[in-house]
Structure 1
């Protein structure tokens, strides 16, 4: 009865009944009749996919997807399926391996003379186009007329990466997206965004991806998404790090060899390919398109810093699910041909980027001082309408094509760089960070006995934290650092990480505090900011008197500080703090980031 009375006090949460679907409120769609519609299997075909049976208006569940793929695998000598991890809710994350030579081990696939392509769907589980497109393509390779595609390359396909988010499915998954009817959720069961996790490795899905990249060593990595945001004519938009990255030769190969052929294949089938699109004003493209500099927490930029060719596909959310899936199919089919036809040049580009010298590493990019040249933009007509409800102006899309000339705003200007030391040292007590470095595939030496070293460390001076967590972690809003050498004895289990290795740039990005994706900025060293020992004023007062009387240099510095800094002179707390920091009693590890640099 007591619990019943308590429950009656809880608020009753309800939802407004909406008779129409959110799809009915989306902007009008442009008429589309692409040639790629011929790819859809007849409902009587024994290998029709579950999505095709609905006319590509729905997408199958996790169980239905894996059952269909298992059946296809059992019927084909060219397909094998392997679990690469287990999700937070206990579901298997499955990897489909496709090889005409029946190479199904990591050793065989990583050493094959054929290129190896890794493509994944459902990292954001509501954005599931790649799953249905991949199923259709594998069907046509194995029981259709496209087996010759396996002469070009071997394939690794992850149909659903965020498996828990995929099964958090409903008709209310993504209000801004035109289908499928039932959609999964963007984040995983812990409400973490997998495509913000490539550096910090908090999720089962991205840990699995890191292991696949390390073990199989793919030659191309493709991550398939669906956009949010503004309307335009393009249905398949995709991008890679073209400028302002860490793999310039790979970027050139993607721009000069890969992109023209994929774009032409899409156009031939009635699709309109375009670059990644982000409205400068956040609502339409009248003020231009921004080519953002993504940090390596994202899939394609993580690939770039590893010198792994990587592409981010963003199908347009306002285009019908059918159109998006078929465009993805065309992209994947031509992807296989283009990589196979230009594999030698791709290998040369990868080798060149891996061999480049590394004296400094850019840890932050910013906008250019002036926009790049304006570009032709295939837009959709719109007008700003004043809301009768809020008084705010919003964009009303009209569903009519228009061509505009808009500025191209590039964010590829180096803003901050750091010199690269010979090696970094991480003490054994920071086990979580060491384990994450291992998961990334970074080489390290492990101490077997204590070792005294004189290393350079960064100490945090003033800092300000963000007001709320980001991806579950408390990051820094601002900070400043000072560097100094310190003698330290490291215990067995501590590690030395040299920078002269294949993933040297990634090492710097993870360990240098100025990097926006460093473990420091992600908050993994926040405990160093807590002071745990103090000195009472009844000790401080006589100690200060003695220090001033016996140390003329100290007295001179104190007098100068009192004269030049009014806030300091007026604050007893700051004065005590300053003197405490001059004594050997101050915690020598307080605010010292525990990553030592060896020069």
Structure 2
């Protein structure tokens, strides 16, 4: 081999070696020796999990996970594992049903007097803590000394939701996360983010979850993630919609009855629980923590609008995998106990939120004009360093715990709301939208014969699209709307969606165009923006003259347009367009959003 080739190979291999140890550049972690380490099974235990055999430095593959869970299923009368969907690449999405009374069907569980808890792992497949924690917890319930937990609740456990992303695994999955050694990928096989899909329902995983929620009607829903971002002392951060949501009584229950008990259990086991954390300046918390108002495309806010108590766990990515898994175990175990102990009050909260009056629905929240009270923040000391390479200033974490008082910036101020009609009508030709409404579990009446109706519709008067797709969709950057009544004949198969139903708020969020997660803003009605018929100028010129001669009021309006808009007056194209829109030849459906409101 020539010297040049040897040199090139040395450079390439050197670069590769640097990449393979990229996690060595993560900030130094704080020492930890929590009580929860006692939860790890001995390597000689016949039910030790594959992850425990590695000292919780690795997590098993899809095949290894399912084989271990199938064995647990076969050896316990209290577990059954069922497929709830098929991934884009054809893998089964499995769910375990755990019941001491062996109530394994949706009907049996519905008749049970016990609460039902649904927890899922791997919606972002690299963030897999919940899978290993769930395996350990189910082992201890079914083969250990914690069977009494099933006196408190029945359980549904989805160990890997994004199964295809889980199997797109390598040592290069999540460079900002401290383990496991091999990690899966954030998105699914067609590069869609499942935790942006709860309203549009495009992924096999979230369609499966929606069906589980509709079929089994859980009393608590827990979605387990791992964070990105800054360093701090907290190892288990989690949140729910505390203010600015659609289920205030559920929020109160989670804040006052659930959270204090879970926090105490975590502290007792050597963990540091905290709220969801988002640095206001994107780097450190010197300028405060932002409590965002998530839209219902996310799991816990989707639960909130359904009046389903829902929690988002975000374990801290810079803490070791072992510490995060054990913290998740403690969280889930205490969640079972707390829901069992306070089930009656939880049911009352759900019933109260489900029965609240609904004259209008908030479709957009903004930040408060001034920050809320400051919060005590358990941070990590940092310093800002100017890069010699780029000149950019970046944060360097120093592995030294500090306590700060930082502003708590809340995004719970209602900015925009819409009045709620008696019902919505969706024409039969918009089958994809109708199907998605069904998959959400929204009640609908289906027309069996054609019917003429006079309904209110929104028309897009002006709009601008984003320059790049988001989650595969071309969304709106901005738009203006006008409302007017139209008399139309809807064909058989069209549906009426009444708003006085359990998922009435969700129907409003999906169908009102002002909602950021409406089908309109997600782009499902974009074809209405295309004009398909035009009028030639040799027809327009004589027709315009005739229109002006016959209609003095039209002539006055035209002269007013010329006077107030110089650009309009100088644009033959816009003048022709203006007159065309005054004629009955213009497409009456152009830019009309095909969702009618019945008042």
Q: Give the TM-score taking structure 1 as reference length.
A: 0.97
> CA deviation digits over 1:24-72, x for unaligned, max 9?
0100000001000000000000000000000000000000001000000
Cα deviation for residue 206 of structure 1 reads 0.2
Structure 2: segments with no counterpart, 5+ residues: 1-11
Provide the residue aligned with 1:546 in structure 2: 546
Provide the residue aligned with 1:68 in structure 2: 68
Provide the residue aligned with 1:157 in structure 2: 157
Helix, strand or coil: the match of 1:501?
Answer: coil
Correspondence 1:355-394 to 2 at 5 A: 355-394=355-394
Provide the residue aligned with 1:309 in structure 2: 309
> CA deviation digits over 1:399-458, x for unaligned, max 9?
110000000000000000000000000000000000000000000000011100000000
Provide the residue aligned with 1:9 in structure 2: none
In angstroms, what is the RMSD of aligned CA positions? 0.7
Provide the residue aligned with 1:17 in structure 2: 16
Provide the residue aligned with 2:493 in structure 1: 493
Q: Would you say 1:248 and 2:244 are equivalent positions? A: no
What is the rounded CA distance, in whole Å, between the counterparts of 1:109 and 1:175 in structure 2?
Answer: 41
Cα deviation for residue 277 of structure 1 reads 0.1
Provide the residue aligned with 1:10 in structure 2: none
Provide the residue aligned with 1:348 in structure 2: 348
What is the rounded CA distance, in whole Å, between the counterparts of 1:234 and 1:22 in structure 2?
Answer: 23
What is the rounded CA distance, in whole Å, between the counterparts of 1:480 and 1:44 in structure 2?
Answer: 67
What is the rounded CA distance, in whole Å, between the counterparts of 1:283 and 1:107 in structure 2?
Answer: 49
Q: Would you say 1:299 and 2:312 are equivalent positions? A: no
> CA deviation digits over 1:479-535, x for unaligned, max 9?
000000001000000000000000000000000000000000000000000011000
> CA deviation digits over 1:306-355, x for unaligned, max 9?
00000000000000000000000000000000000000000000000000
Q: Would you say 1:226 and 2:188 are equivalent positions? A: no
Cα deviation for residue 23 of structure 1 reads 1.5
Runs of 4+ in 1 over 4 A off after TM superposition: none
What is the rounded CA distance, in whole Å, between the counterparts of 1:560 and 1:382 in structure 2?
Answer: 62
What is the rounded CA distance, in whole Å, between the counterparts of 2:434 and 2:81 in structure 1?
Answer: 31
Provide the residue aligned with 2:9 in structure 1: none
| Contact 1:110 1:215 (8 Å CA) reproduced | no
What is the rounded CA distance, in whole Å, between the counterparts of 1:179 and 1:585 in structure 2?
Answer: 64
Provide the residue aligned with 1:121 in structure 2: 121
Cα deviation for residue 564 of structure 1 reads 1.0
What is the rounded CA distance, in whole Å, between the counterparts of 2:69 and 2:528 in structure 1?
Answer: 49
What is the rounded CA distance, in whole Å, between the counterparts of 1:41 and 1:558 in structure 2?
Answer: 82
Cα deviation for residue 565 of structure 1 reads 1.0
| Contact 1:235 1:271 (8 Å CA) reproduced | yes
| Contact 1:110 1:218 (8 Å CA) reproduced | no
Cα deviation for residue 567 of structure 1 reads 1.1
What is the rounded CA distance, in whole Å, between the counterparts of 1:492 and 1:235 in structure 2?
Answer: 55
What is the rounded CA distance, in whole Å, between the counterparts of 2:449 and 2:357 in structure 1?
Answer: 33
Correspondence 1:129-168 to 2 at 5 A: 129-168=129-168
Equivalent residue pairs, number = 586
Cα deviation for residue 111 of structure 1 reads 2.3
Provide the residue aligned with 2:266 in structure 1: 266
Provide the residue aligned with 1:521 in structure 2: 521
Correspondence 1:57-206 to 2 at 5 A: 57-206=57-206
Helix, strand or coil: the match of 2:296?
Answer: coil
What is the rounded CA distance, in whole Å, between the counterparts of 1:521 and 1:101 in structure 2?
Answer: 46
Provide the residue aligned with 1:452 in structure 2: 452
Correspondence 1:560-579 to 2 at 5 A: 560-579=560-579
Cα deviation for residue 18 of structure 1 reads 2.7
Provide the residue aligned with 2:483 in structure 1: 483
Cα deviation for residue 570 of structure 1 reads 1.1
Provide the residue aligned with 1:11 in structure 2: none
> CA deviation digits over 1:346-400, x for unaligned, max 9?
0000000000000000000000000000010000000000001100000000111
What is the rounded CA distance, in whole Å, between the counterparts of 2:168 and 2:111 in structure 1?
Answer: 38
What is the rounded CA distance, in whole Å, between the counterparts of 1:21 and 1:100 in structure 2?
Answer: 46
Provide the residue aligned with 1:5 in structure 2: none
Cα deviation for residue 110 of structure 1 reads 2.1
What is the rounded CA distance, in whole Å, between the counterparts of 1:22 and 1:302 in structure 2?
Answer: 36
| Contact 1:236 1:327 (8 Å CA) reproduced | yes
Helix, strand or coil: the match of 1:57?
Answer: coil
Provide the residue aligned with 2:461 in structure 1: 461
What is the rounded CA distance, in whole Å, between the counterparts of 2:21 and 2:424 in structure 1?
Answer: 55
Provide the residue aligned with 1:47 in structure 2: 47
What is the rounded CA distance, in whole Å, between the counterparts of 1:532 and 1:142 in structure 2?
Answer: 64
Provide the residue aligned with 1:555 in structure 2: 555
Helix, strand or coil: the match of 1:358?
Answer: coil
> CA deviation digits over 1:197-231, x for unaligned, max 9?
00000000000000000000000000000000000
What is the rounded CA distance, in whole Å, between the counterparts of 1:523 and 1:496 in structure 2?
Answer: 21
Helix, strand or coil: the match of 2:520?
Answer: helix
What is the rounded CA distance, in whole Å, between the counterparts of 1:96 and 1:279 in structure 2?
Answer: 37
Cα deviation for residue 125 of structure 1 reads 0.1
Helix, strand or coil: the match of 1:18?
Answer: helix
